[in-house]
A and B are shown apart, each in its own frame.
Chain A
Amino acid sequence: MTGDYKAGKIESMDESSLIQTAQNGDLDSFNTLILHYQDAVFHTALRILGDEDSAEDAAQEAFISAFRSISSFRGGSFKAWLMRTVTNACYDELRRQKRRPTTPLEPETSDGEEMDSPKWLADPNMTPAEKSEADELEHAIQHCLNALPTDFRTVVVMADIQGMDYSEVAVAVHVPLGTIKSRLARARLRLRECLRSFEELLPSSFRLEGESNP
């Protein structure tokens, strides 16, 4: 089934008609939507949970839950609605993790040692220096994200990593717009403090020197 869906089909899809047919129980239409959003969903779950396996589980659960409740979608941003499902799945996963022993966040070799340069980050087009730089950046950011309270982390992941606007984040997290503004400001403030401690480790291009434009 998985192989039936082609990227070209997804690019040319009419999202609203796909949603409508999915609401009538058409799984193929929903799978087309999944292929369109699965990277964003997985990446969001990964940044909230900080663990790839848990993120996979949460993403899969989110899509299953989304299909079952798609009839409740009443228009608006489908991405925001989907992200709400992902957020709920991530919160469920975090609650589960609290009840069971934690797993290491860093990928390990077969000997049980942490990988210096995980293969899951490897990009064949990157030079070794770039790979190392990307690795350090990701580790530092994920470390600082993990240090945030879950509510703050969720908001900052959606706004700054997924690039969603405030209203979409408000729909996804199901809190008022003012709360989103407040949480985002607090999260950025804490991230700034946390990343400052990693400044020496961060690659030069990622130093906290700000952007040229707002």
Chain B
Amino acid sequence: MKNFKDIEQLSAYLDGQLNLSDSARLESRISSDPELASNLNDIRGARGILRKLPARKAPRNFTLTRKMVGLRPPVPQSYSFFRFSSAFATILLVFTFAANSLAPRLSSPAPGFAIGMGGGGAPEATEAPAATEAAAEMLPAATEAPSLEMPLAATEPPAANADSFATEAPLAPESTMLKEAETESALQDQARVKQEPFVPVTWQLSLLVIILISALIAFIINQNAKKKWS
């Protein structure tokens, strides 16, 4: 057995991979070295057997389908438009829901503000009836007293009292009523704000319809493209 360098040279020589000078040098060695010639014959024999091996034909065709390689059918531009509009409308719809759920929280500073205002207002409202009650108690007393004991004198001082009360007593119920009305309307406004969503439901329904129609049209376009392609 020759060294591996010689075997490599012989193998390359058989395949015509040596240049002319190397080939000539090896040929002269082969002619003078029987062992090298024997090695050449062995390698040539092994190569010959491999080359005589009958070629096997493919048992079936390996042609590819579009599905196998994951190709998608060419779709018209309208497909992209409807797909985009469907996606965009979906995003908008999500935003509307988010806005409706966040709107009452965002308007929560208003109740806080009302409390700040009402901090002065609410006690007033509670105190107001007491003032009216006191005025109401004092008024009959003032009217009754002059009629029993001192008609003239009683008529004057009470008149003065009446004047002083006349300016306060009739005003007290009116302002109370006004304040009550204001608080009531404020409460009604708050309730209305709570009841009415930030984005109307009709808008949301419209978006939902756009989503469904766009998605349906995109689906139909895609299916038609697939049918035409296959």
- Residues of A at the B interface (CB closer than 8 Å) are 1-2, 5, 25, 27, 30-31, 34-35, 38-39, 41-43, 46, 52, 56, 59-60, 63-64, 67-68, 120, 134, 137-138, 141, 156, 159-161, 163, 165-166, 181-182, 184-186, 188-189, 191-192, 195, 202, 206-211, 214
Does B50 lie within 8 Å of A56, measured CB to CB?
Answer: no
> Interface size (B, Cβ < 8 Å)?
41
Does A138 lie within 8 Å of B53, measured CB to CB?
Answer: yes
Known A34-B63, A39-B57; 11 more pairs at CB < 8 Å = A2-B63, A31-B64, A35-B63, A38-B61, A42-B56, A42-B57, A43-B57, A163-B51, A206-B52, A210-B44, A214-B13
Q: Which residue in B10, B17, B51, B54 is a CB contact (below 8 Å) of A166?
A: B17
| Chain A positions within 8 Å of B55 at CB level | 39, 43
> Which residues from 23 to 73 on chain B have a C-beta closer than 8 Å to any C-beta of chain A?
40-66, 68-69, 71
Does B64 lie within 8 Å of A67, measured CB to CB?
Answer: yes
| Chain B positions within 8 Å of A210 at CB level | 40-42, 44-45, 48
B159 within 8 A of partner (CB): no
- Chosen A-B contacts, 25 in total, with CB atoms closer than 8 Å, are A38-B58, A39-B57, A41-B62, A64-B68, A134-B54, A137-B53, A141-B50, A161-B53, A166-B15, A181-B8, A182-B8, A184-B11, A188-B43, A189-B7, A191-B50, A192-B42, A192-B45, A192-B46, A207-B45, A208-B49, A209-B41, A209-B45, A210-B45, A211-B44, A214-B14
A181 to B10, CA, bound (A): 10
Residue of A nearest to B60 (CB): A56
A167 to B152, CA, bound (A): 139
Q: Which residue in A137, A161, A185 is a CB contact (below 8 Å) of B11?
A: A185
A interface secondary structure, majority: helix
| Chain B positions within 8 Å of A64 at CB level | 64, 68-69
Q: A59-B62, A63-B62, A159-B15 are in contact. Are A141 and B48 (CB under 8 A)?
A: no
| Chain A positions within 8 Å of B10 at CB level | 185
B113 within 8 A of partner (CB): no
Does B17 lie within 8 Å of A181, measured CB to CB?
Answer: yes
A120 to B54, CA, bound (A): 13
Contact bitstring B4-22, A, C-beta under 8 A = 1, else 0 = 1001101111111100000
How far does the Cβ of B173 sit from chain A's closest Cβ, in whole Å? Answer: 88
How far does the Cβ of A132 sit from chain B's closest Cβ, in whole Å? Answer: 14
| Chain B positions within 8 Å of A137 at CB level | 49, 52-53
How far does the Cβ of A133 sit from chain B's closest Cβ, in whole Å? Answer: 11
| Chain A positions within 8 Å of B52 at CB level | 137, 206
| Chain A positions within 8 Å of B4 at CB level | 185-186
A165 to B16, CA, bound (A): 10
Residue of B nearest to A53 (CB): B59
| Chain A positions within 8 Å of B65 at CB level | 1
Q: Which residue in B17, B45, B59 is a CB contact (below 8 Å) of A56?
A: B59
Does A30 lie within 8 Å of B64, measured CB to CB?
Answer: yes
Residue of B nearest to A202 (CB): B49
| Chain B positions within 8 Å of A191 at CB level | 46, 49-50
| Chain A positions within 8 Å of B71 at CB level | 25, 27
How far does the Cβ of A48 sit from chain B's closest Cβ, in whole Å? Answer: 13
Does A188 lie within 8 Å of B54, measured CB to CB?
Answer: no
